[in-house]
């Protein structure tokens, strides 16, 4: 009986953990934004790296907000190789993610890298969690 109760509790834990998993991956945001701005996705560069989206003016990298530093470094590299302006789009899934945007903004401004953000489609649902 104890084993059954333990098994049921473990099952509930994993079901609950699965419910909080990301519903939208980075590719979803790339598709949404890049198609609206007539960009080309997953552009392979001569060094083997891939730019998430290239538009007429920008080399754009997408990342979840907590990975802002990685986004910054990648877009600067892609900018150097494509001769396009560097831009980073941070994905904001919940209100707490804005702290990463605010923390990173001075670095982006100092180095003349454009910083934008996209809200998750269910962002406003997360306001009350």
What domains sit in the chain, N to C, each tagged with a CATH number? 24-128 (3.40.50)
Residues in the chain: 129
pLDDT range class, residue 127, cuts 50, 70, 90: low
Could you report the per-residue pLDDT of 73-99, keeping only the tens digit for each?
Answer: 999 999 999 999 999 999 999 889 999
Could you report the per-residue pLDDT of 14-28, keeping only the tens digit for each?
Answer: 333 334 445 788 899
Cα angle, residue 37 at apex, residues 66 and 108 outer, rounded to 5°: 35
Q: Is there a contact between 61 and 43 (Cβ–Cβ < 8 Å)?
A: no
Task: Assess whether pLDDT exceeds 80 at residue 128.
Answer: no
pLDDT of 39 reads: 94
Q: pTM (2 decimals)?
A: 0.78
């Amino acid at each position: 009986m104890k084993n059954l109760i333990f098994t049921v509790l473990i099952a509930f834990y994993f079901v609950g953990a699965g419910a909080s998993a990301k519903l939208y991956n980075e590719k979803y945001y790339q598709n949404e934004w890049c198609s609206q701005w007539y960009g080309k996705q997953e552009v392979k560069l001569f060094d083997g790296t891939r730019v998430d989206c290239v538009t007429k003016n920008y080399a754009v990298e997408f990342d979840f907000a907590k990975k802002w530093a990685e986004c910054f470094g990648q877009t600067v590299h892609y900018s150097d190789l494509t001769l396009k302006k560097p831009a980073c789009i941070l994905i904001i899934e919940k209100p707490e993610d804005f702290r990463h945007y605010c923390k990173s903004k001075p670095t982006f401004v100092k180095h003349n890298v454009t910083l934008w953000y996209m809200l998750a489609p269910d962002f406003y649902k997360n306001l009350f969690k």
